[in-house]
A and B are shown apart, each in its own frame.
Chain A
Amino acid sequence: MKKHTIAVIVNDQPGVLQRVSGLFGRRGFNIESITVGTSEEQGLSRMVIVTTGDDHTLEQITKQLYKLIDVIKVVDLSANAMVARELALIKVHAEPASRPEILGVVETFRAAVVDIGTQSLMVQVVGDTEKIDAMIELLKPYGIRELSRTGVTALNRGNVKQ
């Protein structure tokens, strides 16, 4: 079971996310994360889906996606060098005494504090999934009060032809 990151370029139509996620659900394909946003071209959205499965599953996912009329292109980003990023907002319990320690972690990870409360700090971290996992692990001992992750968005590096 390998992890695959695929980009799906779709018509920006109501219901497209439902068509794509429904296809994964119906055919028993796994979705680890899914993000959608506008793309470089007006009228088209770019979905980035992280999924797990063997090569046969990935081939089926690609072919089944192409059957959807609103799917323009499917790219296996993880087949080539890619940049994959995820964003997390972490609200961590922070008594004044523990703040310097937390700020140390934030600095090491090149994350940022984006809000300060009387008892908490909100940390914003951007990076690949592993980095965010690591950051969360380090902040856990202080007490994570709320956590929100975006899921992965990604592009291929340089001049990889799509």
Chain B
Amino acid sequence: MATQSATLKSKEELIERLSKPEVISGSEILLRSLLLEDVDCVFGYPGGAVLYIYDAMHGNPDFNHLLTRHEQGAIHAADGYARASGKVGVCIATSGPGATNLVTGIATAYMDSVPMVVITGNVMSTLIGTDAFQEADITGITMPITKHSYLVRQVEDLPRIIHEAFHIANTGRKGPVLIDIPKDVSAAKTLFKPVKEVSLRGYNPTVNPNKLQVDKMIKAIAEAKQPLILAGGGVVYSGAHEELLEFVTKTQIPITTTLLGLGGFPSGNDLWIGMPGMHGTYTANMSIQTADLLINIGARFDDRVTGKLSGFAPNAKIVHIDIDPAEIGKNVPTDIPIVGDVKTVLTLANKLAVRADQADEWRASVQQSKAQYPFKYIDSDVELKPQWVVEMIHETTGGDAIVTTDVGQHQMWAAQYYPFNKPRSWVTSGGLGTMGFGFPSAIGAQMANPDRVVVSINGDGGMQMCAQELAICAINNIPVKVVILNNQVLGMVRQWQELIHENRFSHIDLAGSPDFVKLAEAYGVKGFRASNKEEARTAWEEALRHPGPAVVEFVVRRDENVYPMVAQGRTIDQMIMGDAE
């Protein structure tokens, strides 16, 4: 406790010191403003246009900056930091190529509504538009993938813009905000006074729902014989996991959570029936198709969830709760729209909610289906099965790890075989499906949660898109446990080519990949390899015990597929159940 009050005091002192009005440079203003926004770690990469900003960091003991080895690493790390903490992730890059290297990461955050403030440098104001060295119109390039963006023209605007950017990023439907700062603006000096108010006439997210609509939902629940809840990332983002649990407990309605909603509801609960959609559970998909009331809470009816839209939830009255009015009715016609913050809506709903009494038969049949159709795979004692590896990771971490993934088969196996019980323990690129995301996002998640075990599950393909960030794990002793499920192939592409393109395997062979153990060691990170269950367990347990970062390569069966699977263009009840059936 003594140390805690000391830190608290020093934080107060810091805020007081930073808030003192003073004539300082744009770069100083940026650093002070970020600290005042409670940013405790920034990821970035310097360059010509941000020299003044990096100069201001020099010798600054208050400002914590991690130098990644690629801007893509920096932005995915900032993203992982944001998803795992709920705070705004921040990254900095220089103009031109530095800025354009962020584009994939900005789009990733935008698709999944992750709060981020992205700082880019730009060439001198006087050079903008002249095709100057390392000039790119990054505000123009990123307009479709940011919630909002600023090109700072005058240093006097900087404090207001930074404060607005944080406000916009982390309120309403969250998302990335870009601030582009020309070099001369970061060099210019002005009187800095922290900005505390925000006045944005065109930005007033609706937090409080219309009570009449909530009443309608409550009435619909009372009338429903086959009600189902579909909960998504919005539950996690609004911090509504407790309210959701209360809502489900009161109403006793079965619940399915989307990929981004995993952890928003405890997987151990009897009423949880897994993930829906393309690789969802049989029970979740069939329940959606037979439900007479579908309550969507903070999910956006993504096509990976709905399958063929015209045949989606054909019998259900649709309730849609979302903070973004544009999501309501976008893909699926809605009977009861409720615009508002999920936590606020559920808090209100919980005051009125009663048990769905007419749904006893339905509950029983859903639970029976859940028992009858769990995820299944054929285990092997000869080859290592990726699903088994995921189950082992779950078992050995007690389900308490933060798991980040890359994109592909391993991502789906992680979602299927690692049951999540806590929000913000699952970090994955859902909307954009970004390869290269898994490993750097784990670095950010670990920075936000130094005391938790962070496991990053990757394929051999995606790992090679940002492997260079092993360096920052080694140098800063960031103890991420990197799992590589190596099947020597682009597995999900292989699966589609097998099932949809009649085994025409085109350009999926990843022969020529590095020896991942040696690669790890080359960076000064401990490396392990395992090809059977015994080796796997030994290597993994040793990696977990190791106090620093570790890479564990699991050589798994090449031809394993993810099941169930709904082919694109099919309705979600048309599932291919797979080998285990």
Given contacts A70-B202, A71-B202, contact A59 B329 (CB under 8 A): yes
Residues on the A chain within 8 Å of B329, using CB: 56, 59-60
Q: Taking A60-B330, A67-B326, A68-B202 as contacts, is the C-beta distance between A15 and B151 under 8 angstroms?
A: yes
How many residues in B have their beta carbons less than 8 Å from beta carbons of A?
A: 18
Any B CB within 8 A of the CB of A53? no
A10: chain B residues within 8 A (beta carbon): 202
Contact of B144 with A22 in the complex, beta carbons under 8 Å: yes
Taken together as a complex, chains A and B put the C-alpha atoms of A63 and B143 apart, in Å, by 17
A residues 65-104 with Cβ under 8 Å of B? Answer: 66-72
The residue that B201 contacts in the complex, of A22, A56, A68, A72, with Cβ under 8 A, is A72
Which among A15, A18, A22, A71 has the greatest number of chain B C-beta atoms within 10 A?
A15
Please, which residue of chain B has its CB at the minimum distance from the CB of A25?
B144
Question: Which residue of B139, B147, B203, B325 is within 8 Å of A15 (Cβ)?
Answer: B139
Distance in Å: Cβ of A46 to nearest Cβ of chain B: 14
Choose one: B139, B203, B324, B325; the contact of A69 (CB below 8 Å): B203
Q: Is A11 an interface residue (CB 8 A)?
A: yes
Q: Is the CB of A67 within 8 A of B330?
A: no
Majority-rule SS of A interface residues: helix
B200 CB contacts on chain A under 8 angstroms: 69
Is B398 part of the contact surface with A, judged by Cβ < 8 Å?
no
Inside 8 A of B201's CB, which chain A residues have their CB?
11, 72
CB-nearest residue of chain A to B329: A59
User: Could you mark each residue 151-176 of chain B with 1 if its beta carbon is under 8 Å from any beta carbon of chain A, else 0?
Assistant: 10000000000000000100001000
Interfacial chain B residues near A37, Cβ < 8 Å: none
Which residues of A lie under 8 Å from residue B140 when comparing CB positions?
A: 15, 18
Residue of B nearest to A56 (CB): B329
Interface size bracket, A side? 20 to 34
Residue of A nearest to B175 (CB): A67
In this assembly, does B65 line the interface, its C-beta being within 8 Å of a C-beta of chain A? Answer: no
Tell me whether A39 is interfacial, beta carbon within 8 Å. no
- Cβ-neighbour of A66 out of B139, B148, B326 (below 8 A): B326
- B201 — nearest CB in chain A belongs to which residue? A72
Complex: how many Å from CA A70 to CA B168?
12
Can you list, as one digit per residue, whether each of B315-345 has a CB less than 8 Å from chain A (1) or not (0)?
Answer: 0000000001110011000000000000000
Nearest CB of chain B from residue A95's CB, rounded to whole Å = 46
Contact A69 B151 (CB under 8 A): no
A69 to B146, CA, bound (A): 11
- A26–B145 Cα distance when bound, in Å, is 10
Contacts of B203 in A (CB 8 A): 69
Would you list 13 pairs from A and B whose C-beta atoms are within 8 A, ordered by A residue?
A15-B140, A18-B140, A18-B143, A19-B143, A23-B144, A26-B144, A64-B326, A66-B325, A66-B326, A67-B147, A68-B148, A69-B147, A69-B168
A-B pairs with the 7 shortest C-beta distances?
A63-B326, A69-B148, A72-B202, A26-B144, A69-B203, A63-B325, A64-B326
